[in-house]
Amino acid sequence: METPLQQVEIIQRYFGEFTPQQLRQWTQLDAVYREWNERINVISRRDIDSLYERHVLHSLAIATGFVFPAGAQIVDIGTGGGFPGIPLAIFFPEATFHLVDSIGKKIKVVEEAVKALGLTNVRTYHARAESLPKGAFDFAVSRAVAPLLDLWTWGRPLLRNQHLPGSPHKNGLVCLKGGDLTDEIARSGLRPHVWELSTLFTEPWFAEKYMVYVPR
């Protein structure tokens, strides 16, 4: 089995230099999630050995096209065990990430991970996304939580209708999805921008994985 430091190389392959603090946090992720996954299963047993590829790098797909500058407020809808919110919070330390999930045991894992990693730019909520303040966030992110129409229904009211200075994109929803999205997009009535992750990452696991963006 590769060491955490060796696994971090999969991130460095696609994203340049990191600060010593970021490298420490990337490396610590393995131990933190292994410990908590033994107590509360938030990552499947078959995926825990592929944490950096299937969860961390997958989350960071958002960072290939989106910039969250200092002061940006991002809500992670249905964060589960903290993805994509925690990897993005490490990557963008000057932005603030609001991780929300309606399942208490998942938020418990997120809170402990945030504490262990020393992340000061993460807020956690044991709540439904709809209960968060309206118009308080610049972007909503999510990973395979619900159909696109549901995510947009929950996320749109939370977003400020503006173009955040320093961001190449207007405020909106960015979600990570897999499989054939044709019917899901058609049912949503939306016209999202879609990127194939296999064009960004060479690992076979990213086949039929997509990043979907709906501007506010």
- Model confidence pLDDT, tens digit, residues 71-94: 999 999 999 999 999 999 999 999
**Residue 144 assigned ligand-binding role:** no
pLDDT of amino acid 46: 75
Q: Round to whole Å and give the CA distance between 49 and 33.
A: 10
Q: Round to whole Å and give the CA distance between 145 and 124.
A: 17
For residue 185, report the phi and psi dihedrals to the nearest 5 degrees. Answer: -70, -40
**Residue 113 assigned ligand-binding role:** no
Q: Round to whole Å and give the CA distance between 191 and 213.
A: 9
Domain count, the chain: 1
Q: Which CATH number characterizes residue 78's domain?
A: 3.40.50.150
Q: Would you place residue 1 in the very low, low, confident or very high pLDDT band (cuts 50, 70, 90)? A: low
Which range is least confidently modeled, 5-9, 122-126, 146-150, 200-204? 5-9
| Residue span of the structural domain in which 48 resides | 4-215
pLDDT of amino acid 126: 97
5 or 167, higher pLDDT: 167
Q: Output the pTM of the full model.
A: 0.96
Tens digit of each residue's pLDDT (9 = 90 or more) over 159-192: 999 898 889 999 999 999 999 999 999 999 999 9
**Residue 201 assigned ligand-binding role:** no
Please count the helices (runs of H) and the strands (runs of E) in the chain.
8, 7
- Sheet containing 73-77, strands listed edge to edge, beginning at the edge strand earlier in sequence: 122-126, 96-101, 73-77, 139-143, 172-178, 209-215, 193-196
Tens digit of each residue's pLDDT (9 = 90 or more) over 121-141: 999 999 999 999 999 999 999
**Residue 178 assigned ligand-binding role:** no
| Angle made by CA atoms 18, 107, 53, in degrees to the nearest 5 | 40
**Residue 216 assigned ligand-binding role:** no
